[in-house]
Amino acid sequence: MCKSPLNDARAKRARAHKHINELLSVISTFAKQYPSEVINSKLPDGSFRVSFKTPNTPVPNEISLVLGDALHNLRSALDIMLVECFKARKKGTSGVKFPFAEDAVKLDEIIKKSLNHGGEDICRLIRSMKPYKGGNINLRGLHDLDISDKHKMLIAAPRKGLYHQIEFVFIINGNITTRIKDGKVIEDKSLPSTIIKSFEVKSIIPENLETTSIVFSESTPFPQKPVIEILKEICKLVDEILDAFEGILVST
């Protein structure tokens, strides 16, 4: 097998994958230890409201640290990738790193100052990726997350789509009469003539379902988005960028 011209960058990307697997494990441990509570409330008009409450527990430092490692490896992969591209073309690498900017104008200034000597095709590819605010949200978001305080950008929240995975059981006079899941009635034995002496609703959570998730805080580029979901999107993007730059090197 031929060695990739971006071997070191891909090694960083592979390292990020290991951190993400570790992150999955520590988040799962936290979710099992601190499950979200399902609250069924009877309203004045007789209807019921379902809400979810996450334990008021700070996100463990371990989760923040592992997330930081994953983000930094993904961000570093881009810097190393660009250096490898310049080395492959026997160009100077002083000051060479993947650029991030406030806007397209500032990006162009960075490219002209530090990256022009790498080749117009490389500069054109960088511009197409829009690594600036208001450009590629996930790409710019990777940079912003990498330089942020990891301990302040994570919060615990009910798992996304939790309502659709729980079965709600209606009990009248001590007997189960109706079962509802994902907004659909899956069993109904209620009778209009029944005289209701007691009524309650219970929530049945599937075994091993993790009801708590870790999401990004409002101060981040991905407010209320699940951490793992966003990391997977960023990983996919980094892979696409590595492939695009490797394609340039192979074709020249």
pLDDT > 90 in the chain, percent:
61
Contacts 24+ apart (CB under 8 A), 8-14: 8/80, 8/84, 9/77, 9/78, 9/80, 9/81, 9/84, 9/242, 10/77, 10/242, 12/73, 12/74, 12/76, 12/77, 12/80, 13/73, 13/74, 13/77, 13/235, 13/238, 13/239, 13/242
Could you give the angle at the alpha carbon of 18 between the alpha carbons of 70 and 125, nearest 5°? 55
Residues recorded for the chain: 252
Look at 33-47, 132-146, 224-238 and tell me which has the smallest mean pLDDT.
33-47
Report the candidate in 141, 139, 147 with the shortest Cα–Cα distance to residue 238: 139
What CA–CA distance (Å, rounded) separates 126 from 201? 56
Separation CA 87–CA 249 (nearest Å): 11
Which of the two residues, 82 and 176, has the higher pLDDT score?
Answer: 82
Asked whether the beta carbons of 121 and 251 are under 8 A apart, the reply is no
Whether the per-residue pLDDT at 2 is higher than 70: the answer is: no
Q: Which of 53-67, 91-105, 132-146 shows the lowest mean pLDDT across its residues?
A: 53-67
- pTM for the predicted model, two decimal places: 0.84
Instruction: Say which amino acid occupies 64.
Output: S
pLDDT of residue 234: 97
Give the strands of the sheet with 167-172, arranged side by side: 184-188, 175-181, 167-172, 199-204
CA diameter of the chain: 87
DSSP assignment letter at 102: S
Q: pLDDT tier at 149 (50, 70, 90 boundaries)? A: confident
* Residue 80 · residue 61 · CB < 8 Å: no
Sign of dihedral through CA atoms 250, 19, 157, 61?
Answer: negative
pLDDT at 1 over 70: no
State the CB neighbour count (10 A cutoff) for residue 205.
15
Domain boundaries defined on the chain = 7-89+146-166+205-251
